Copies of this chain bind each other. A is one copy, B any other.
Amino acid sequence: MDKLMQDANRFVSDIVDGLVLAHPNQYEKVEGLNVVKRKGGAIADKVGLVSGGGSGHEPAHAGYIGDGMLDAAVCGEVFTSPTPDMVLEGIKAADGGAGVLLVVKNYSGDVMNFDMAKDLAELEGIQVETVVVNDDISIQNEEDRRGVAGTVFVHKIAGAAAASGKSLDEVKQVADKVISRVRSMGMALSPCYMPESGKPGFELPDDEMWIGIGIHGEKGVERKAVAPVKDIAAQLVEHLTAEVTDKRIAVMVNGMGGTPVSELYLTYKYVSELLEQKGYEIVRPYVGNYMTALEMHGFSITLLPVDEELLQYLDASSKAIGFLV
Contact = CB atoms under 8 A, between A and B. Distances in A.
Contacts of A4: 189, 229, 232, 259, 263-264, 266-267, 298-299
A284 B4 CA distance: 22
A300 to B, nearest CB: 12
A58 B257 contact: no
Contacts of A56: 262
Contacts of A55: 262
A157 interface: no
**SS class, residues of chain A in contact with chain B:** mixed
Given A297-B258, A324-B324, A287 B2 contact: no
Contacts of A22: 265, 268, 272, 285-287
Most B Cβ at <10 Å: residue of A15, A189, A228:
A15
Nearest to A299: B4
Contacts of A3: 189, 263
A120 B259 CA distance: 38
A11 interface: yes
A155 B230 CA distance: 34
B297 A295 contact: yes
Contacts of A265: 15, 18-19, 22, 58
A143 interface: no
A31 interface: no
A98 interface: no
Contacts of A232: 4
A229 B56 CA distance: 18
Interface string A233-262: 000000000000000000000000111111
A297 B207 CA distance: 20
B294 A18 contact: no
A209 interface: yes
Contacts of A19: 265
A6 interface: yes
Given A55-B262, A260-B257, A263-B5, A21 B228 contact: no
A269 interface: yes
A267 B15 CA distance: 8
B267 A18 contact: yes
Contacts of A106: none
Nearest to A204: B2
Contacts of A81: none
B269 A289 contact: no
A14 interface: yes
B267 A226 contact: no
A275 to B, nearest CB: 11
A270 interface: yes
Given A260-B292, A292-B262, A287 B18 contact: yes
- Ranked nearest first, the 4 interchain pairs of A and B with the lowest CB-CB distance are A18-B265, A18-B269, A257-B260, A58-B262
Interface of A: 1-7, 11, 14-15, 17-19, 21-23, 55-56, 58-59, 63, 189-190, 206-207, 209, 226, 228-230, 232, 257-270, 272, 285-287, 289, 292, 294-295, 297-299, 324
